[in-house]
Amino acid sequence: MRAVWYFSLFAPVVVACSALGQPQQNVPDAPAPQAATQSQSAPPSAPAPQPSSLPDLKDQVAPGKGASPDQQGAPPPGVPAPQTSSGTVGAPAPQQAPPPDAIQQAPPETGPASQEPVHTITVGVTEVVVPVTVKDKHGNLVPGLPWWRFKVYEDGVQQRIVWFTTSAYPLSIAFVIDATLPADIMDKVNQSLSVVSNGLTPSDTVAVISYAGTGPQLVTDFTAAQGPRLTAALQIAKKPGEQPGVPIVDGPFGSGPIVNGQQADPTLAPQRGNASGFLNLPKEVHPLNDAILYAAEQLSSQPRGRRRIIYVISDGKNSRSKAKYGEVVQYLLTNNISVYGTNVGDSALWGIGYLDRFKLPLLQPEDVLPRYAIATGGDIDHELSENAIQNAFVKITDSVRSAYTLIYDSHQPTISGKYHVIDVHLEGLPGYQIDAKQGYYPTASVQ
């Protein structure tokens, strides 16, 4: 009787040990084996435990990777491939062991064969999104470049690209119209507003903002790009513009109308101590900085996964704004917002507006729009005619949709808020123009 009890006590253990040597079965719902102890034994009729294993994932798609990415060029040997989204232009990962700093590592082995504790180390990183537009020497967009052509540097140190895609993101556009333009230029802008929706898709959203001397005004919040509300808002946004007047310094109207012995408009009064009749003309107000900051605040609430764009139609003049240029740029970069636009009026003339693209010493630029575009990775077009203004908007929206999107993880601390310089290069392709933001500010919020 004692021999029978001894066999029953160790029978489950013997069967379990022999089962470990058998091939694993794909039984996802099988219970995890329980180790036998001396204080508690299984009954003689208890079934032998079966080791559990994951289902066969050989032919399934890994999360975050496309099922069949296009192969448009193999990377050089030793270059690890980033993750690529479905429908992107990216080369597959080389068939070799991943580098030590690979983002995706194999999970630690668990189960009956491993009883080692698993320790998790959490490292704070900032996900830096860098949209990049590439043009040739003629200004034409260059599509189809593989990911390994791009080199990204942060503060002079090369970064590893962890995500690469050429997929077109849905757009959230804050459309800003300068109502301080002269009347003849404003008339051309008004006529061109009818084609704004031509370059957009039903997944895009648009907010319309107009600004004058009194500051920015929201015509409509974000609405569908193909909906009737946008058409109505653009119609409301049409303004007459400002009428440039010629001062009258002589004759009965030289000093303006007189009411009760006083001049009705004190700005037309001669300067004190100056009898020559020169007028004290009022200063012009062009709050472009305030308008861009206001548009950026509206865009900051747009959901993640959309390209945030500010599109400005203006002559680029800025005067008497409450917001400073540096403060506005910091807000734009912190919230992943790019500034695009069309320069009109005097800023579109060659030799005047084009000089503002360069930072000349001891010379304050009259047109600040190019500075916003360069800092945020956007683009500015200079047009004079009505047809050119219409085509400029469609061309720039095509440029935004054709952008490459690069993402890398930065380990810079977010609490410092320090500005970090970004530099993007193309490997082996000299002479191409690269439009990308020049830097970023780390933030703890998810953008």
The residue type found at 275 is A
pTM given for the model: 0.68
| Residue 377 β-bridge partners | none
Of 57-61, 154-158, 421-425, which range is least confident?
57-61
pLDDT higher at 291 or 60? 291
CATH of domain 171-238+285-401: 3.40.50.410
What pLDDT does residue 68 have?
43
Cα–Cα distance for residue pair 213/229, rounded to 1 Å: 26
Q: Give the pLDDT band (50/70/90) at residue 111.
A: very low
Q: Give the pLDDT band (50/70/90) at residue 411.
A: confident
Edge-to-edge strand list for the sheet holding 171-178: 215-224, 205-212, 171-178, 307-314, 337-343, 380-382
The rounded mean pLDDT for the chain is 74
Query: SS3 letters for the chain?
Result: CHHHHHHHHHHHHHHHHHHHCCCCCCCCCCCCCCCCCCCCCCCCCCCCCCCCCCCCCCCCCCCCCCCCCECCCCCCCCCCCCEECCCCECCCCCCCCCCCCCCCCCCCCCCCCCCCCCCCCCCCCEEEEEEEEEECCCCCECCCCCHHHEEEEECCEEECEEEEECCCCCEEEEEEEECCCEHHHHHHHHHHHHHHHHHCCCCCEEEEEEEECCEEEEEEEEEECCCHHHHHHHHHCCCCCECCCCCCCCCCCCCCCEECCEECCHHHCECCCCCCCCECCCCCCECHHHHHHHHHHHHCCCCCCCEEEEEEEECCCCECCCCCHHHHHHHHHHCCEEEEEEECHHHHCCCCCHHHHCCCCCCCCCCCHHHHHHHHCCCEEECCCHHHHHHHHHHHHHHHHCCEEEEEEECCCCCCCCCEEEEEEECCCCCCEEECECEECCCCCCC
Nearest in space to 400 (alpha carbons), one of 149, 170, 90: 170
| Residue 293 β-bridge partners | none
Cα angle at 396 between 352 and 195, to 5 degrees?
A: 100
Edge-to-edge strand list for the sheet holding 126-135: 83-84, 161-165, 404-410, 126-135, 433-435
pLDDT higher at 146 or 56? 146
Given the DSSP bridges, would you call strands 404-410 and 126-135 parallel, antiparallel or unpaired? Answer: antiparallel
User: Which of 69-73, 178-182, 248-252, 388-392 reaches the highest mean pLDDT?
Assistant: 178-182
Cα–Cα distance for residue pair 262/58, rounded to 1 Å: 90
Contact assessment for residue 128 and residue 442, using Cβ atoms and an 8 Å cutoff = no
Q: Over the stretch 7-66, which tens digit does the pLDDT of each residue have?
A: 343 344 333 334 444 444 444 444 444 444 444 444 445 455 555 454 554 555 444 444
Nearest in space to 282 (alpha carbons), one of 258, 265, 263: 265
Q: Over the stretch 235-264, which tens digit does the pLDDT of each residue have?
A: 999 999 887 655 554 555 555 566 666 666
Cα–Cα distance for residue pair 241/186, rounded to 1 Å: 5
6-12 long-range contacts (CB < 8 A, ≥24 apart) are 8/44, 9/41, 11/44, 12/36, 12/42, 12/46, 12/48, 12/49
Contact assessment for residue 191 and residue 438, using Cβ atoms and an 8 Å cutoff = no
